[in-house]
Amino acid sequence: MSATIGAPAPEFSLKDQNQQEVKLSDFRGKKRVVLVFYPLDWSPVCTKEHACLVNGMKQFDQLEAQVLGLSVDSAWSHKAYAEKMGIQYPLLADFQPRGAVAAKYGVYLEDKGITGRAISIIDRDGKLAWHKNYDIPVVPDITEVSQALAGVK
């Protein structure tokens, strides 16, 4: 099952790297959400992707968007990874049950036990406004994501 553009984005509540509960509904009416699905902390392509996000945070802040990273790693792995990478945005642990949130968005790769690489943009009303899947070895184009975000209310 995958989420549909224009439909309400699947709700979730997950712990971040600081053991804080983060709900999609927390941002409704306040900020757009850039939901970054990635396979695993510490992998080379994911590390490049997060470096691009960290370096591009000013763009997302100016566009009044909240970036949320999401993978099947534990909150403890996320904590160490965020500290090493200088990541200030929440990294959500889709850990137990493994990949449950990613599956709602159609990006959980059950045969591999990991989250696929994808980015979803959710508007202030909580609707899925943009979504793109990427091949695992491809670093998403952050400029493309920013441009898509700029077109979302």
Alpha carbon distances (Å) from 130 to 44, 51, 76: 26, 22, 30
What are the tens digits of pLDDT across the range 29-60?
A: 999 999 999 999 999 999 999 999 999 899 99
Q: Catalytic annotation on 46?
A: yes
Choosing from 46, 70, 93, 114, the catalytic residue is 46
Q: How far is CA 80 from the centre of its chain?
A: 18
AA identity, residue 95: F
Residue pair 53/36 in contact (Cβ under 8 Å)? The answer is yes
Residue pair 109/116 in contact (Cβ under 8 Å)? The answer is yes
**Mean pLDDT, rounded, of the chain:** 95
Give me the CATH code for the 13-150 domain, please: 3.40.30.10
Domain layout of the chain by residue ranges: 13-150
Tell me what pLDDT residue 125 has: 96
Tell me what pLDDT residue 73 has: 97
What is the C-alpha separation between 89 and 84, in angstroms, rounded?
Answer: 13
Task: Please report which confidence band the pLDDT of residue 153 belongs to, taking 50, 70 and 90 as the band edges.
Answer: confident
